[in-house]
Amino acid sequence: MKYLDALIIGAGFSGLYQLHCLRDKLKLNTLVVEEGKDIGGTWYWNTYPGARCDSESFTYGFTFSEKIFKNWTWKERYPKQNVILKYLKYFSNELKLKKNIVFNEKVISAKYIEKNNLWKVQTNNKKKYYTKYLICAVGSLSSINVPKIKGINHFKGQLHHSGRWPRKKINFKNKIVGQVGTGSTGIQIAPEIAKRAKKLILFQRSPNFSIPARNRKLTKKNIKNYKQNFKKLRNFLKRTPGGHPFEFPKKSAFDFNETKRNLLYEKSWQYGTLSFRATFNDIVKNIKANQTAVNFIKSKIYSTVKNKKYADILTNFDHPFTAKRPTLNTNYYEMFNKKNVELVDLKQSPIIKITKRGIKTNKGEYILDKIIFATGFDALTGSILKLNITGKKGINLSKFWSKGPKSFLGLLVPNFPNLFIVSGPGSPSVLTNVPVQIEQHVNWITNCIKYLEKNRKKSIETTNLAAKKWQKEIMNSVKKTLFMKAKSSWYKGDNIPGKPKTFLPYPGGMPKYKSECIKVEKNKYKELKIS
């Protein structure tokens, strides 16, 4: 049994920075409990072939310390999974974080003991911790979604989910591989498997929009430039809606004739990065402007993919561009010109079951050596609810969120005093370049705890009213976007059977969100319950 000031669950980006802030700045007795064998969070688990971040490397890290920022050098435009892990190890070594982290320990429950104002946290190793503050830093995309397909346990070959990729290298040589899922992950894995396997059969349910990443080595000049402009860059990232190094222009798609508009799209297409959506200011909010982007992307797919049937399947979009998370790719569309790649349209021929030998659709059985599920996550709420958290009066978080997550700013939950969530539902989280949002969140939590400690307070809790108002703000903000026009998206919880259907992240942009957070802090948390 151990008594702590603060216990942080998860040793990814958020947990590591939160540990530094509470331990080193506030001098609190802090411990991180991590399920994995090492630090990294998302980047510890997602080791699948092709795993790489879609954010540009020089923006994908912490900016609170100029020294830490400048002493690390990103060498490619987009960082590979193992490079991000190396970065986090560098970060952790610089701040000597590991000594306050326990690994291989999974939190199985957390219960608030009202009479002592303490959280009792239990782990799978039968360890018990008592802590004043409990911080969920479990990541938005951690709880994997393995679809409940009939017969899944009967398959005799190997079956892997991208989010729990084995550490041991998998041999694809001479193998027939079936891959289910064509989101950000699937679009990264497939071209890599196609290079190695005898055959790749890709099972697509819905096509996703994908823009060429155009990864490249950073030149010495690029590196010098981003380091020299550290302060400018930091301020810029914090000012933009998504924490990315681009802004939306003033011009509408309709300020140009079709020829000029397509020239501008072409320029963005050649440039790569997630900034394609910012070619014009109205792509993400006006359905007609959006359609011009859709038409351009479709024309690119048709001019790349030689097999017309495949091009039709890949362009059969059921959502506006950006209504689901747009993806970046390296040779994804080009891959369909390879002889060893087959595309199966699950809209035409749905999967009936998984057999001993492979995948059976209503058009026949595909014999496979391996199956890869790139089927995503129970996003934003899944990893938090798995912790089995019980607040005041025995209220369980799963029950309290049974109709969707209720929180204030995604940070605090009514009935759950001194529980803080980093990048949780109700915050901009997955709609941003996540480390930028994490830094803002952790700073807010740290300042809040500092206030409580300085004023010798026992606890802080949000009210139901504040949570309701915030939920209303989320719903009002989402109306100004195209997100709800996606038939099915994990942003709305559609990918998990039985999950409440509600828009999960805050879509109003980081500057607006941040100003709300600052207001609460400046107001000395008056709209919250402090005792």
Q: Which residues of the shown chain bind ligand NAP in the complex (CB under 6 A)?
A: 52-54, 141, 147, 162, 180-186, 188, 205-206, 325, 346, 351, 374-377, 430, 488, 490, 495
Residue closer to ligand NAP by CB (options 5, 151) is 151
Least Å distance, CB 147 to ligand NAP, is 3
Least Å distance, CB 73 to ligand NAP, is 21
332 by Cβ neighbours in 10 Å (0-12 / 13-18 / 19+) ranks as buried
Least Å distance, CB 188 to ligand NAP, is 6
Least Å distance, CB 10 to ligand NAP, is 16
Residue closer to ligand NAP by CB (options 22, 379) is 379
Least Å distance, CB 263 to ligand NAP, is 28
449 by Cβ neighbours in 10 Å (0-12 / 13-18 / 19+) ranks as buried
Least Å distance, CB 225 to ligand NAP, is 23
Least Å distance, CB 190 to ligand NAP, is 11
State the amino acid at position 415 in one-letter form.
N
Alpha-carbon distance values, 424 to 409, 434, 504 (Å): 9, 11, 9
Residue closer to ligand NAP by CB (options 122, 488) is 488
**What 3-state DSSP class applies to 165?**
coil
- Tell me the residue nearest to ligand NAP as measured from the CB: 183
The DSSP bridge partners found for residue 76 are 217
Query: How far is Cα 209 from Cα 270, in angstroms, rounded to an integer?
Result: 16
Helix (H) or strand (E) holding 136: strand 128-136
Least Å distance, CB 186 to ligand NAP, is 5
Query: How far is Cα 401 from Cα 391, in angstroms, rounded to an integer?
Result: 12
Residue closer to ligand NAP by CB (options 377, 420) is 377
Least Å distance, CB 74 to ligand NAP, is 15
Helix/strand/coil percentages in the chain, nearest 5 = 40, 20, 45
**What 3-state DSSP class applies to 3?**
strand
Residue closer to ligand NAP by CB (options 187, 389) is 187
Q: Which value, in Å, is the radius of gyration of the alpha carbons in the chain? A: 23
Residue closer to ligand NAP by CB (options 148, 250) is 148
Query: How far is Cα 72 from Cα 52, in angstroms, rounded to an integer?
Result: 18
Specify the pairing of strand 358-361 against strand 210-212: unpaired
223 by Cβ neighbours in 10 Å (0-12 / 13-18 / 19+) ranks as middle
Question: Residue 137 in contact with residue 424, Cβ under 8 Å?
Answer: no
Nearest to 15 by CA among 40, 38, 37: 40
Least Å distance, CB 487 to ligand NAP, is 9
Residue closer to ligand NAP by CB (options 183, 405) is 183
Least Å distance, CB 126 to ligand NAP, is 33
Three-state helix/strand/coil letters over 427-474: CCHHHCCHHHHHHHHHHHHHHHHHHHHHCCCCCEECCHHHHHHHHHHH
Query: How far is Cα 202 from Cα 212, in angstroms, rounded to an integer?
Result: 19
Question: Residue 112 in contact with residue 390, Cβ under 8 Å?
Answer: yes
